Structure 1
Amino acid sequence: MSATMIKEFRLPDLGEGLTESEILSWKVDVGDTVSLNQVIAEVETAKAVVELPSPYAGVIRELHEQPGSVVEVGKPIVSFEVPDDAGTAPSGPAGTLTAGPGERGAETQKREPNLVGYGAVVEGSGRPARRPRNFAAPVVEPVLARPVVVEPADTKPVDTAIAERPRSTPPVRKLARDLGVDLARVPGTGPGGLITREDVRGFAGHNEEAVPPLAEPVALSGSRLGERETRTPIKGVRKYTAAAMVQSAFTAPHATEFLTVDVTPSLELLARLKNSREFAGLKLTPLTLAAKAVLVALRRNPALNSHWDEEHQEIVTYNYVNLGIAAATPRGLTVPNIKDADTMQLRQLAQALTALAETARAGKATPDELSGGTISITNIGVFGIDAGTPILNPGEAAILGLGAVRTLPWEYRGEVALRQVITLSLSFDHRLVDGEQGSRFLADVGTILAEPGMVLTMV
């Protein structure tokens, strides 16, 4: 009988430096035999729901966390019994996966599972390569997650005169304030010295200067409330979205403009395209043409594709467009974006929009797809709404809202006729975009939608 060992798999950083994730469900149970790359769990970060593949082929020996648990990055979540292989990475007590700086050679590096959302490790580079995007034939492949290696925390006293701001999360900082704990004096045991809730509570319990912990709030049962209230924990995507919207609303000076246009010619164009051979089978909507109109208008009005860099006191103007599309999902609002949308022809853009919508509705948008946007569109018209004042996606200079297409009496060639009309709502960051620039951009988008042939005068 071959020897076996126990391997612990720690929750990896699933992108953008996120510090915790919620275990939504386990796809395996104790005693199950799993193969390499088999999906073992579904977890939700602050941005997306991610399927977690198995980093090992072996037998599940212990599930350390239950569904609904919020787990910090670097904490063990599952243990495997695997064949004892002398060629694997060094291990600590009971076979747990550990390693110090410089201990991982090229051979070990090639074997390691890598970060969710990325491709295979590049030979000799130590970094995973991103997969090329192919909207014509999207392929979903299983990928591995890299276990986070946790180094022993440094327990030496912190010199508050020279130390940087302690690494912690907003909930931990609030807990520290409530308990009267100075975070600069708390040793962090989380990944990279991150201070956790347990660190703060432990410090408060052994420090006479700390204020005694406040009583935990009492949760009222449904029977006591007479089922007249439903309380839902604020977490995951909704928690992230709420924080992002508050940050945007109170840091960027919003300005909003409106323009109502006759889009009958655009709808007639869509009907012709649907019957053409090139666009046969593709989903074409007013959003498709609006997205293309935005991309064309940005060439003439680049200020709307920029970012205010507060730290460096610079205005960053992007020479590419990652077009965000706001999507309502069961887990809350998300804004995945289409990378390098400005390089796409209309057919490619239609394919990308369809793939993005399907992924977002399924809650499978990756952290990479949910970050890095440069400008966004929100289609409130699908809910029967004519206009609104969209809030900027944090870090972006503008967002365009599409209202519902209405059949209304409209002036047409000197007479009143029933026409297809839409209202556009443009919100922009007034630090980056002057009223004239915003108005010209909105007018360009409206002109293209009112008469698609006018795009020939803009490119």
Structure 2
Amino acid sequence: MTTIQTVTLPDLGEGLTESDLVEWTVAVGDTVELNQVVAEVETAKALVQLPSPYAGVVAELLVEPGATVPVGTALMTIAVEAPADAAAPTSPAVEQAAAAEPAAPERTAVLVGYGPLVEGSSRPRRRSRSEDWTAAHAVADEVGLALAGGRIGPKVLPPVRKLAHDLGVDLNKMEGSGKDGMITREDVLRAVSGVDVSPAARRPDALSAAHRPGLARSVEAVPTPSGHESAREVRTPIAGVRKQTAAAMVASAFTAPHASTSLTVDATPTLELLEAFASDRALQGHRISILTLVAKAVTIALGRNPSLNARWDEAAGEIVQFGYVNLGIAAATPRGLLVPSIKDAGRLRLPELADAIGTVTESARAGTSTPADLAGGTITITNIGVFGVDTGTPILVPGQAAILAMGAIRRRPWEFQDELALRSVMTLSLSFDHRLVDGAEAARFLTDVGTILARPGSVLSMV
């Protein structure tokens, strides 16, 4: 006997409520195995491969590549053949015996990186705190509905509820714009920012231009002096990383009171130190750069100025002080700006930190970063100097207290040992959440980082 099973978009964790379907790896009529990858989706965090929860034949593909779909949306159907003995007649005694036995655990597919429980093992995979939060509130929602015999409180999916919790939004005071009054992710972000963040990106053809450049459309082509036509306007769907980055930046700008300060330092001694490292055999194979040394300086300065390594928890009415440093490294990628984080960066030695920076940035540019790689940062560094920019005012990553921008290194006349000399100078720009960090604390932190770069030996008095 054949049954038709529906495959839906699973909850990918980390508070994500929707994904863009990048491409199908199967077609109608294909035979698929359990856990075989059938599609690739793009979230605000990363590209994720979706495995099949069933073995069978693909009956229908319900979503076109390029569509943005919420969690729980039906993606495809699979014709599953029941076991040969499933339909065989049985006696009442056999049926009673079978009913008395506990049901065998159903074999289900899991996302890449979370392999299924090994047969014979009784230890399940430990869920993340995000999954625990989502699961607990999902159960609470279901229990509440059952007890009331209907809807109580706001109608909202658990990932959206978590997002509202993180941003301090009271769902009980909201009206949803989704189906049957469902509160959507856009409703929550709109409540935070006062800006409509649900543009035409929800059209079925929406997908990041990095993956579907053909979706960009020209408006009113005009001739150029060379005789060739050039588009007067090019319209690209707002989707993928660009859409999520925009929403995050709007939420950050309207929730955290930004303040900024900057410091220009003589980084000549640091560049001389890098030259010495280049000839050190013990460091061969490790790409130690100016970014590596700034990252190390940041972790040291945070030990002296911990208020910059914290988070404002509006819902709980608390300031969360981190006892570790998950250092975010902003990376420009074909998909847009991504910020993977190096976990426990403060515990890494300089060569290890250099390797970690190379690994997370390469993964981000290759599109292989996992949601875990792109979450959990406590402070961020962005190197705008690689673009030849001297200074800027970076926007905070939501949930972080500070972000440091590194400017370009310039050869400039500078006072050195009471004389004017040509030195290698760079500007450090710090943006911070003024709810968490006072101006004096920000200044001390920035001065500590600058002092380490100007006089690397001074670190001995800081640790």
TM-score, length-scaled by structure 1 = 0.74
Change (3 A) 1:222 1:411: closer
SS in 1 for 2:76: strand
Question: AA paired with 2:374?
Answer: L
Q: CA RMSD in A?
A: 3.7
Kept in 2: contact 1:47–1:237 (CA 8 A): yes
Matches within 5 A, 1:35-434: 35-81=33-79, 84-85=82-83, 107-108=104-105, 111-118=107-114, 120-121=116-117, 123-124=121-122, 126-128=124-126, 163-167=152-156, 183=176, 187=180, 222=218, 224=220, 227-434=231-438
Aligned-pair identity in percent equals 56
Aligned-pair distance for 1:278?
Answer: 3.1
Distance (Å, rounded) in 2 between the aligned partners of 1:386 and 1:124: 57
Change (3 A) 1:55 1:278: farther
Change (3 A) 1:107 1:416: farther
Map Cα deviations across residues 229-266 of structure 1 (whole Å, 9 max, x no partner). Answer: 11111122111111111121122111111111111221
Distance (Å, rounded) in 2 between the aligned partners of 1:65 and 1:242: 25
Are 1:456 and 2:460 counterparts? yes
Distance (Å, rounded) in 2 between the aligned partners of 1:389 and 1:18: 28
Question: AA paired with 1:303?
Answer: S
Name the residue aligned to 2:441. 437
SS in 2 for 1:440: helix
Name the residue aligned to 2:165. none
Question: AA paired with 1:450?
Answer: A
Question: AA paired with 2:49?
Answer: E
Distance (Å, rounded) in 2 between the aligned partners of 1:444 and 1:185: 49
SS in 2 for 1:15: coil
Kept in 1: contact 2:261–2:443 (CA 8 A): yes
SS in 2 for 1:408: strand
Distance (Å, rounded) in 2 between the aligned partners of 1:80 and 1:186: 26
Aligned-pair distance for 1:345?
Answer: 1.2
Kept in 2: contact 1:257–1:425 (CA 8 A): yes
Distance (Å, rounded) in 2 between the aligned partners of 1:410 and 1:106: 77
SS in 2 for 1:108: coil
Aligned-pair distance for 1:406?
Answer: 1.1
Kept in 2: contact 1:305–1:318 (CA 8 A): yes
SS in 2 for 1:14: coil
SS in 1 for 2:12: coil
SS in 1 for 2:234: coil
Aligned-pair distance for 1:454?
Answer: 1.4
Change (3 A) 1:396 1:356: same
Distance (Å, rounded) in 1 between the aligned partners of 2:125 and 2:282: 39
Question: AA paired with 1:288?
Answer: T
SS in 1 for 2:277: helix
Change (3 A) 1:41 1:410: same
Distance (Å, rounded) in 2 between the aligned partners of 1:357 and 1:5: 45
Distance (Å, rounded) in 2 between the aligned partners of 1:452 and 1:221: 52
Distance (Å, rounded) in 2 between the aligned partners of 1:194 and 1:155: 20
Q: Pick the structure with more helix per residue.
A: 2
Kept in 1: contact 2:221–2:232 (CA 8 A): yes
Structure 2, unmatched stretches of 5+, are: 87-101, 129-137, 162-173, 187-202, 204-215, 223-230
Please say which of residues 348-357 and 79-88 is displaced more in the overlay: 79-88
Map Cα deviations across residues 189-220 of structure 1 (whole Å, 9 max, x no partner). Answer: xxxx87799xxxxxxxxxxxxxxxxxx9xxx9
Kept in 2: contact 1:106–1:124 (CA 8 A): no
SS in 2 for 1:230: strand
Kept in 2: contact 1:165–1:184 (CA 8 A): no
Please say which of residues 232-241 and 74-83 is displaced more in the overlay: 74-83
Question: AA paired with 1:266?
Answer: T
Question: AA paired with 1:112?
Answer: T
Change (3 A) 1:288 1:183: closer
Aligned-pair distance for 1:49?
Answer: 2.0
SS in 2 for 1:364: coil
Name the residue aligned to 1:26. 24
Please say which of residues 319-328 and 21-30 is displaced more in the overlay: 21-30
Name the residue aligned to 2:93. none
Kept in 2: contact 1:324–1:374 (CA 8 A): yes
Name the residue aligned to 1:99. none
Map Cα deviations across residues 65-84 of structure 1 (whole Å, 9 max, x no partner). Answer: 11011222122223344554
Distance (Å, rounded) in 1 between the aligned partners of 2:424 and 2:11: 48
Change (3 A) 1:269 1:196: closer
